[in-house]
Structure 1
Amino acid sequence: MPIRADSRLHTVSWGRVLGGLRAGGGPLGLLERIGARSQGALTRLDLGTFRPFLVTHPDHLRHVLRDHGENYRRGTAMWKALGRLTGLGITGEGPQWRASREVWHRGLSGGAAHALADRMVPSVADAVADLAVRAAAGARVDSVAEMTRIVLRIINPVLFGSRIPQSQCDRLAAAVAVAFDSLLWRMAAPFVPLAVPMPGDRAFRRATATVNEILLPLVRRARREGGGGPDLMSALLDGRDADGRPLADEQVVQDVVALFVAGSESSALTLTWAWVALAGNPEVAARVRREADEVLGGGAARPEHLRALVYTRQVVAEVCRLYAVAWAVPRTAAAGDVIDGVRIPPGATLVISPYLTHRLPAFWERPLRFDPGRFTKDGVRGRHPLAYLPFGDGAHQCVGQSFFLQEAALIIATMASRFDIAVPGRAEPRAAVALRPRERVDLVITPRR
């Protein structure tokens, strides 16, 4: 019997959505319940006039992100609102996006990547040493704040070539975070004209004014003095737009801001979830500590240590599976399509959810269990290539994936070699723009003898 179009579609009515929200856990709890019922089937959420499709099965993801990726674009409210902050470069579409992506790819691969690693390693050591001075034995510190502080110590030399004081880098990061958080209302109500005031608009304007105040003079001075360094700003200054012209100063600023959005908050949140996972799995934490002791030998990290932190990198990969910071990512269908017998009308919104894909029992045995052993070479080789996508996939896959995995493994190993770290209480995730802890996560840091 032939398959009727839409016969494989799982539908969630508006009433069931409301009932799911009342059941507790907020949007993330609702999403988990929908995922448990649909088990990878394409799902349409009937939310009145808004009827997005939820896409979680690896075969469907291959269709959307790889085989027909040109049809599924960043045209949704989230991307349009984000474009007010990051422009149409690396977070956009079309020729300008391709030009920016090529610049980032060159700056984060090959010999350039090795040069960045050489800058990253001493920055991690300095940042962790600073934490040791500021945190007395047994002191409680805010994990997200401290991980952000460490990541920013790395971003300054890697992105700017240490062209600005660390205090200015911290001020820039704070302004970018405020601007990003201020976009929530614009993302939720894209139909409201920009001329109509909304909550967050005033904070957004103040924050972006601060961003431009810091970055535009920096970019112009760096252009006058000439780039040529291994830092990413130099790569942008040497880059070209879609017409072969040098990137405009404003474009460089927007791409720098895009890196801050991806590289500071996302990194700090993932590191926070790593400490939560290690606290809940003491046997894994003990093995991370042993590897850190064996590789670092009680001394400072060196670039050659990065390849030797094999188990710690597996831990980071498993953290990214269970706590996918980009928990839901929207796309828009440019033209009508059919996915596994389901009609997708032109203009439809598709929501890709790595958070749910990473919990499908058909692809992950005991998916809620924290198990870094999933990421041995054999484990990765035997798995569907689209069952794991914390960094996206296809043409828009994150170009900084490799750099982040090295950065996170090095930070965890360096801290594990110096401190015993406890996380008192429980940490539950909540769905904001990124996957954040519902409450503040404290780390209790005690120097090791």
Structure 2
Amino acid sequence: MPTDTAARSVRRARPVPIHRALPRLAREAAGALVKFAQEADGEIVRLELGPFRPYLVSHPDHVQQVMRLEWTNYQRVGMFWRPLERLFGHSVMSDGAHWRDSRKILQPLFTTRYIAAIADEVADRVAERIEEWDEHVRAGRSIDATAEMSGILSFIVNRVLFGDKLDRKDGERIIPAFDLASHSLVYRFLMPFMPYSIRVPRDRAFLRAVKQIDDVVFPVVRKAMVDTGDSPDLISMLCRFTDEKGDRLTERQIRDAMVSVYAAASETSAMIITWLWLLLDEHPEVAVRLQEEIDEVVGAGPARPEHIPHLRYTRMVLIETLRLYPSGWLLPRQVMEDAEIGGVRVKRGSTIFICPYATQRLEEFWERPHEFDPERFSPERSANGERRHRYAYFPFGGGPHKCLGEHLFYVEAPLVVASILSRFRVAIRTPGPFTLAWAASLRPKQKVELGVSFAGHDRNGVLR
């Protein structure tokens, strides 16, 4: 039993009644969570959604408690993770023993040393894929930004993960399947308490997307298990892996790992670069400075790994894009034992919403939080002592569950952006404003069309 002093210190979460919460969430869920967090000044919020009453945790202190300091009490299980299990199975996207085992196997393949070792290959892939844009320019065709960024990242990841055991045609079949799954999951998120014996809208579409992914991945896994070889790609290494008992992974375990990492390394990065084109269109002064740096460092291109350390402003632009549009915008957790967060008692079985999209826009921690300003991440500001809470910015998650793909992102994303802008000039052809889609990953609701033209360089690679 708590003491009188402890009892007095415990307070209720700020409630958001259903008549305010539900319409806002239905209209634009991520934007609604930002509003709720801001109106509460980052304090704990309880969303009154009938029988379902999750807590919104947005203050960096509270986020750190849930994701790092007491992470074992806040698990990736429960009603919000069941739909994802149907897609990702039991691997790094799960929790408990499955997560620990998968993380132990996969972590060595996503270290800075390993990513540096494959960086040249990634750069070759980027250059090869972007050269194909020449045909679009000559034909005067616009480019679907989301589909094309997904295609480029898929082309890269196919080599890194599958060692080209997955042919390009099959690899591109996965892209629309992930897109369909991301949009279809939303209805389960809206009705998390609905039993799976009852169909909700888009259930069949989601299962169709999972089947399409499985139809591509399982045959590759089975073939790789027969001929493990000595290739350093991920699927080969998983097929060669044996545990302390000498047992190999099952085809299902390998499939789950491949699908989970594929999503983290390609689909999420593609969405972030799509948002980047929209932000550059809205902020021409940033676009000019970015272009100047790429012209100076990369020239006629393509970008190479040795250019990355010199693309400092490019990195600042990417970091700021991640602040405004983190792909993993909602990170649910289930409370395993009664606890207290920020003076609010939360009971076992409760759902916690962590929303980087909201935390990374809190006025207490970010000056002009809704403005796109890459300068806030400049080395000069850091040198002058500008510091912020470690969990005011966490686009790759945090604690033991931090995304394995972070190092890969900071290699592939600069190479993609710099290679495109060294060869082409890009303009948005779709009229805005652009709103957020109701999807599992943060993406524009509208189709984003890019107009592309050749950058003018002379025969020595100097911009004319």
Letter in 1 for 2:427: A
Query: Does structure 2 conserve the Cα–Cα contact (< 8 Å) formed by 1:144 and 1:441?
Result: yes
User: d(CA) in 2 for partners of 1:420 and 1:151?
Assistant: 20
**Residues 187 and 13 of structure 1, relative CA distance in 2, 3 Å threshold:** closer
Is it true that 1:317 corresponds to 2:314 in the alignment? no
Partner secondary structure for residue 443 of structure 1: strand
Once the two structures are superposed, residues 377-399 of structure 1 have per-residue CA deviations (whole angstroms, 9 ceiling, x without a partner) of: 46467111111011100111101
Query: Does structure 2 conserve the Cα–Cα contact (< 8 Å) formed by 1:5 and 1:343?
Result: no
User: d(CA) in 1 for partners of 2:87 and 2:186?
Assistant: 12
Which of 406, 409, 417 matches 2:414?
A: 409
Moved more, 161-170 or 216-225: 216-225
**Residues 384 and 63 of structure 1, relative CA distance in 2, 3 Å threshold:** same
Query: Does structure 2 conserve the Cα–Cα contact (< 8 Å) formed by 1:227 and 1:237?
Result: no
- Unmatched runs of 5 consecutive residues or more in structure 2: 457-464
Is it true that 1:16 corresponds to 2:20 in the alignment? yes
Offset, 1:194: 3.6
Q: Percent identity?
A: 38
**Residues 190 and 47 of structure 1, relative CA distance in 2, 3 Å threshold:** closer
Partner secondary structure for residue 78 of structure 1: coil
Query: Does structure 2 conserve the Cα–Cα contact (< 8 Å) formed by 1:236 and 1:247?
Result: yes
Offset, 1:158: 1.0
Map 1:93-242 to 2 at 5 A. 93-136=95-138, 139-240=141-242
Letter in 2 for 1:440: K
Offset, 1:64: 0.6
Query: Does structure 2 conserve the Cα–Cα contact (< 8 Å) formed by 1:156 and 1:164?
Result: yes
Once the two structures are superposed, residues 65-108 of structure 1 have per-residue CA deviations (whole angstroms, 9 ceiling, x without a partner) of: 11100000011322111111111111111122111112221111
Partner secondary structure for residue 44 of structure 1: strand
**Residues 240 and 363 of structure 1, relative CA distance in 2, 3 Å threshold:** farther
CA RMSD, aligned part only? 2.3
User: d(CA) in 2 for partners of 1:374 and 1:244?
Assistant: 50
Partner of 2:282: 280
**Residues 366 and 2 of structure 1, relative CA distance in 2, 3 Å threshold:** farther
Query: Does structure 1 conserve the Cα–Cα contact (< 8 Å) formed by 2:24 and 2:32?
Result: yes
- Unmatched runs of 5 consecutive residues or more in structure 1: none
Once the two structures are superposed, residues 108-152 of structure 1 have per-residue CA deviations (whole angstroms, 9 ceiling, x without a partner) of: 114421232122101111111112223337542211011111111
Partner secondary structure for residue 437 of structure 1: coil
Query: Does structure 1 conserve the Cα–Cα contact (< 8 Å) formed by 2:115 and 2:407?
Result: no
**Residues 325 and 15 of structure 1, relative CA distance in 2, 3 Å threshold:** same
Partner of 2:360: 358
Letter in 2 for 1:317: I
Partner of 2:449: 442
Partner secondary structure for residue 105 of structure 2: helix
User: d(CA) in 2 for partners of 1:246 and 1:188?
Assistant: 39
Query: Does structure 2 conserve the Cα–Cα contact (< 8 Å) formed by 1:103 and 1:235?
Result: no
**Residues 360 and 240 of structure 1, relative CA distance in 2, 3 Å threshold:** farther
User: d(CA) in 2 for partners of 1:192 and 1:38?
Assistant: 29
Query: Does structure 2 conserve the Cα–Cα contact (< 8 Å) formed by 1:137 and 1:447?
Result: no
Query: Does structure 1 conserve the Cα–Cα contact (< 8 Å) formed by 2:183 and 2:438?
Result: no
Partner of 2:459: none
**Residues 21 and 63 of structure 1, relative CA distance in 2, 3 Å threshold:** closer
Moved more, 130-139 or 429-438: 130-139
Moved more, 370-379 or 190-199: 190-199
Offset, 1:241: 5.6
Query: Does structure 1 conserve the Cα–Cα contact (< 8 Å) formed by 2:137 and 2:454?
Result: no
Letter in 1 for 2:44: L
Offset, 1:27: 2.6
Query: Does structure 1 conserve the Cα–Cα contact (< 8 Å) formed by 2:186 and 2:438?
Result: no
Query: Does structure 2 conserve the Cα–Cα contact (< 8 Å) formed by 1:142 and 1:440?
Result: yes
Moved more, 336-345 or 295-304: 295-304
Letter in 1 for 2:302: A
Offset, 1:178: 3.1
Is it true that 1:397 corresponds to 2:402 in the alignment? yes
Map 1:312-351 to 2 at 5 A. 312-351=314-353
In the comparison of the two structures, how many residue pairs are matched? Answer: 447
User: d(CA) in 2 for partners of 1:401 and 1:85?
Assistant: 22
**Residues 183 and 366 of structure 1, relative CA distance in 2, 3 Å threshold:** closer
Partner secondary structure for residue 340 of structure 2: strand
Offset, 1:199: 3.5
What's the TM-score once normalised by structure 2's chain length? Answer: 0.90
Moved more, 312-321 or 238-247: 238-247
